[in-house]
Every structure is written in structure tokens, then in C-alpha cells.
Amino acid sequence: MTPTHREDIDWLRAIAVLSVIGFHFEAPAIFGGFVGVDIFFVISGYLITGIIASEMAQGRFSFARFYDRRVRRLLPALYVMVACAAIPASWDLLSSERAEFFRSAAAVVTFTSNIFFWQQSGYFDHAAVEKPLLHTWSLAVEEQFYLVLPVVIWAVLRLARGRKLALPLTLSLLAAASFALSVMLIRSQASVTAFFLSPPRAWEFLLGSLIAISGLPAPRPGLAQRSARALALLLLAIPILSLRPGSGFPGANALAPCLGAALFLWSGEGVPNRPRSPLSPLAVAGFVGRISYSLYLWHWPLFAFARFAKPGLALDGWERAGLFALTVAVATLSWRYVEQPFRERRLAATPRAAFGLAALASVLLLAGSSLGLLRSGAGSDMDAEAQRLDAYNDYDMKPVYRYGSCFTTPDGRVAEDCLRAETGKTNILLWGDSFAAHAYHGLKAQLDPATVNIMQASQPTCMPTFSAETQGVPACRALAVQMREFLAAHRPDLVVMAADWLEDARPPRFAGMLHDLQQTLARLGEAGIPVVLLGPAVQFRERLPSMLARATLRGITPDPDTFVRSDVFALDQAMQAALPSGARLTYVSILSAVCAQHGCPLMAGEVPLSFDHAHLTAEGSVLVMGKVAPLILPRATRPGSIQEADDRAHQAGREGARDD
């Protein structure tokens, strides 16, 4: 800590790091905690630019001194974390993952891990949780920023010859160009590029830079300062609590947290630190901010390896709370015994010593990574089987789900062929979301195509309901309209409804889900159309192939009680009670048909039942629908009713025309 240390910046760091940890540890309501990284970027730009501009104004700026401070700040704790993470990586990862780990370790040392992970997968993809060093992407972006910004500031101030607006204008233009690039990449479906690479992220740093050199007078102490601080906290809280992961980030969605961070920094300028009790909330927040770098470094590998240690790859609430306490303890030790000695120059007292030690450590880590890569090529038979199972994480579901025609269409309406009835056959309409789509293959395999025709209308996340106004997604509204039109003109022999009821009924939505369903069921009943409603599907705590692979790697017999989510059984009972079978509605419990005494299948022969947490593989669909199909077909009306309904409609139309 120096005389210019600001406690409010530690508070902002605490908000940033706790947001990131809360998001990764799946804390309740921290849906957008990933924006904590953006807050860190703004803080970095503010501090670094302020230091460089101040030292240049005093005529004492030195690149050697600047990079000496950066080396001491970033590398010791980072390198210790990477070296420690390599120990469990040697036995907790599949051979392919071990190879990727050591390649990512080499990328960390060369400040290119953001480029490495950009080439691998998206930050929000399922594979992200299998990468213990994924979080180092942000450090690479920061390091790349440190390589460029000092040169830009130095060059502009040298060339400006005292023109005060030269630096703000230059940084403003660079920030605008960077932000425009980020938005353009998001709109062109290149959000992964916008997320990982430095140019579309530079505007976040530069926003902090502009606050540092703006010369704007800080708000006056009192109401103005408190109001600015409150607005800043609001701008931070809204995305942290409400923003959802997805392809629309960063881009414009990163504006609110970055503006909030910038306003927070500006509103604290000139405000003196106050003496505080060590146990006061602000003092605790300040301590969290001071250890925030080590907290950030350690939380993700600890979380990743803790998950790997669980057969079900899922941590319960108490385990996550204990892991957070462990993270704080490890981070405190890292801050006290690794960060502080180097920053206070008790170790490597001179720049020459610091650069020499950093070079030696880098060479050793690169050598260790090379050795780890060489050893990763040798895998056991158990490792090979684990990799075979893990490969189902990349399962191609498109042909099985009829992707692009009867599922996931551009405008939400399914193709006409998906709803084509066949005369003389029992025509069954399969209607719903992806859980309806994954039933198609199995139903088709189980039912006789000579006597049964299956029509399919499905879109991701879309409940099978006529209540289009309740559907927040345009594709769902389009499908609901199409179904209203289709079922007004046609009468299938049977409608089979299926959806991810666990998601649709997530509190407090259960009552609303039932209301929408009951309205739709009533309209179908009035039209004389029988309905089979399939209850909740088998759902797993995490991606099933990953869980099976980890169990195989450890020689553990997979346990359905550990793998399957227990809340699906409670939801199944609640839905059966709320939607009892009647004259026109039959509720079919998939769990009762498939999971004898809660013992749900995990494999369909040699293939995982699902390729993620719930969606069935082709073999899984055949297995599950083999149990369910006999409960569906008896509910269909006699074949030909669609044609008869169409004939009646045409006859009514002709009679109406004669009356006119």
C-alpha cells in the first residue's frame, strides 16, 4: 500500500472478483457475474494510465520501471498457480485434456492464452468447465494491453508537444473504434472473437484511461458524491444480477458494468480513506479487494478439480460454500507469501533480479509444459474408454432431431412436410421443444411406419401451448401461431406434447406453466383431439458423457442416484396431481416407465443415454421410447380422422358457398 492507495478501488475490486466467483460457483441470482472481468479491465486502464501520465508529466517515466512493476504484480502468483494446478492435472484429466492443459500452460507463459482458448471453444460452452486455466484468458488480454498502452501514451505525449487534448482525443478515437469492432463482431455472429481477443476489448480499458486523464472535477462530497456512487452501484448491480450468458456479450451488453465501474472510480477521486474497524463491512470488502488477484487466480482451478473429484461432477450448496472458504484461505496465503514479498521487493529487489527470475521461471514452466505434453500421449485402456465416452459431448444431434426443418428453423415455423398427414394411417403430432424433438427418432423406430405417421412441430425452449403472448422468444410465438392455424384446420388422431418441464416450471413459474397448459388442453379437448402429455424426462446433474468419462477414469461404477437429478421425480408427481388423466388427456410418466425405483438407465448399449444433461442420443431415444410408445398408441383415435375432418371442413365450405 502506498500513500496514494484508495480504499474505494479495493471495494470495486471486491465487487468484481466476488461477482466472477459467484457466477462460476453458481451462487443464486448471480447470473451475470462474468462482467466482473470487465470491471477489472476498467480498473486496470484507470490505474495504469494514471500512473504513466503522472510519471511522464514529472519527467520520470521509465519503461523498465513500468514493466518491473507489472512483472512483480502479475507473474509470481500466476506462475505459482499454474505450477500447482499441473499436479492434479496429471491424474485428474483425460489424456487429451492433459495435453490441452499443458498447451494452455505454455500459452499462459507467452501471454497468449486468450488466443489459445479463442481457438478452442466459447467461454460459455459446456467444454469450458473442463479447462482449469480458462480464466487466464483475461490476464493475457491485460498483459497485451500493457504491452501497447504505454507505447501509445508515450508516443502521443511526445508528439503532442504540450497539447492537452491530444491524448484524450487519441484514446477516445481508439475506444470508439474498439467498441464499434466489438458490436460489429457480435452482430456478425462472431461473439467468441469479441469475447477473447484484445482489440474488441480495448475500449473497456480505455474507458478507465479516459477517466484517469479527463481532468473532470470529482463530484462534491456529500449528496453529489453519494448520488454518483449510488448510480454507479446500480449500473453494476443490474448486469451482475440479471444479464444472462450468451452470444450477445460483450458488445453493448458490457456498457452498463463498464460505465458503472468508470463512474465509481470518478466519484471516489479526492475522497480520503477513513480509519475503520478491521471487522467493519467496508474493511472486510477492502481486504477482499486487496487479495482479489489471488482470489481470481485460484478460484477456477479449485472449482474445476473439485468437480472432477465428484462422480456426478456437481457440487451441492454446502460444498460450494466450503470451496469458497478454501479459495479465500489459499488466496490469502498467495497474497501474503507470494504477491507481497515481490511487490515490496523483499524478493528480487532490483529490476534486473525481477526480470531474471521471471525469465528463469518462464523457461522452467515451458520446459515442464513440454514434458507434460510428451507424457500426455500415453494413455491406458481405461483412459481410451473414458475418451470414447467423452467424445459424445460433441454428438451431432441434427439428423436425429430433424434440425432445420422440423426443429430449429430460422423463422420458428416448421416445414410443411413436418405436418403432412397420410391417409389410412394413424397420424400422431409430436409437439413441443427439444424434448419433443429427441423423442421423434425413438417413436419412429418403435411404431410401424405402415400404420403410423408421426408429424413433428418443435422449436428450442418452446412450450407446446397456444398462448403465444406468453412466449418470450419470437420463434416460439411463430410456432404457437402455426399450431393454432394447423389444429383449427386439421384433427390429428393424437397430439403428443413434450417439453423441458423442469425449466418451464422453475420457481415461480409452475402455476403459470400449468395455466398455459390447461388452456391449451381445454381447446384441444373441445376440438375432440386426444392428447398424451409426456412428463419430465430423465435429467442428469451435469453432462452425462463427462460424468461417465470421469467415473471410468477413476474405476468407479456409475450410480444413477448420484447422476440423476432428484427434483425431476418431485416435479413428475406434482404434474400428475395437477394434470390427471381423463377422457381426452393421458399423462404418461417417462420416469415411471423408464426408471424402476428411481434406477434410471445411463447407457443405451454402448452409448450414453444423452449427449448432455438430458437430450437423448439416437440410441437413447430408441431405449426410452421403447418403454413409452406402448403407453401412447392406445390413446390415438381411429385412423383417418384427419382426412375425415378435412373432408367435413371442405364440405362445410361448399355448403356455405351455396347458401351465399
pLDDT number for residue 582 = 81
The answer, yes or no, to whether residue 658 has pLDDT greater than 70, is no
- In this prediction, residues 573-601 reach a mean pLDDT of 91
* Average pLDDT in the chain: 89
Percent of the chain whose predicted confidence (pLDDT) is above 70: 93
Does pLDDT of 469 surpass 80?
no
Q: List Cα–Cα distances, 520 to 435, 486, 529, 587, 645, in angstroms.
A: 18, 14, 11, 15, 20
Distance, CA of 209 to CA of 167 (rounded, Å): 10
Per-residue pLDDT for 454 more than 60?
yes
DSSP 8-state assignment for residue 599: B
User: Using CA atoms, how far apart are residues 94 and 109, in angstroms rounded to an integer?
Assistant: 23
Side chain identity, residue 414: V
Name the most confidently modeled range: 125-134, 342-351, 619-628: 619-628
* pLDDT average, residue stretch 282-288: 94
Least confident of 325-329, 387-391, 427-431, 468-472: 468-472
Mean pLDDT of 2-31: 89
* Residue 191 three-state SS: helix
Average pLDDT over residues 124-149: 86
Q: How high is the pLDDT of residue 125?
A: 59
Q: What is the mean pLDDT of residues 169-181?
A: 96
In eight-state DSSP terms, residue 346 is S
Percent share of the chain, pLDDT over 90: 67
The predicted pLDDT at position 124 comes to 56
Of 2-16, 122-136, 544-558, 633-647, which range is least confident? 633-647
Q: DSSP assignment, residue 253? A: G
What is the pLDDT, as a whole number, of residue 455? 97
pLDDT surpassing 80 at residue 470: no
pLDDT band with cut points at 50, 70 and 90 for residue 116: very high
Write down the pLDDT at residue 467.
Answer: 81
Out of 92-101, 163-172, 422-431, 544-553, give the one with best mean pLDDT: 422-431
With 70 as the cut, is the pLDDT of residue 482 above it?
A: yes
pLDDT category at 276 given cuts 50, 70, 90 is confident
Bridge partners for 588 per DSSP: 534
> Residue 650: what pLDDT?
43
User: Are the CB atoms for 342 and 348 separated by under 8 Å?
Assistant: yes
Average the pLDDT over 476-480 and give the result. Answer: 92
Residues forming a β-bridge with 531: 495, 585
The per-residue pLDDT for 645 is: 42
Global pTM exceeds 0.85: no
The average pLDDT across 171-200 equals 94
The arithmetic mean of pLDDT across residues 213-238, rounded, is 90
pLDDT confidence of residue 380: 64
Average pLDDT over residues 536-559: 88
- In the sheet that holds 494-498, the strands lie side by side as 452-458, 426-432, 494-498, 531-534, 585-588
Q: Which neighbouring-strand residues pair with 429?
A: 455, 495
Residue 34 has which C-alpha cell? 462474468
- Region 19-39: what's the mean pLDDT? 93
Q: What confidence category does residue 646 fall into, taking pLDDT thresholds of 50, 70 and 90?
A: very low
Average pLDDT over residues 320-348: 95
Please compute the mean of the pLDDT values over residues 431-439 and round it to a whole number: 96
Do 70 and 146 form a contact (C-beta atoms < 8 A)? yes
Q: What is the DSSP-derived secondary structure letter of residue 536?
A: P
Mean pLDDT of 258-262: 97
Domains along the sequence of the chain with CATH: 7-271+287-379 (no CATH), 393-648 (3.40.50.1110)
Q: Which three cell numbers stand for residue 208?
A: 478507465
Confidence of residue 26 (pLDDT cuts 50, 70, 90): confident
330 within 8 A of 302, measured Cβ to Cβ: yes
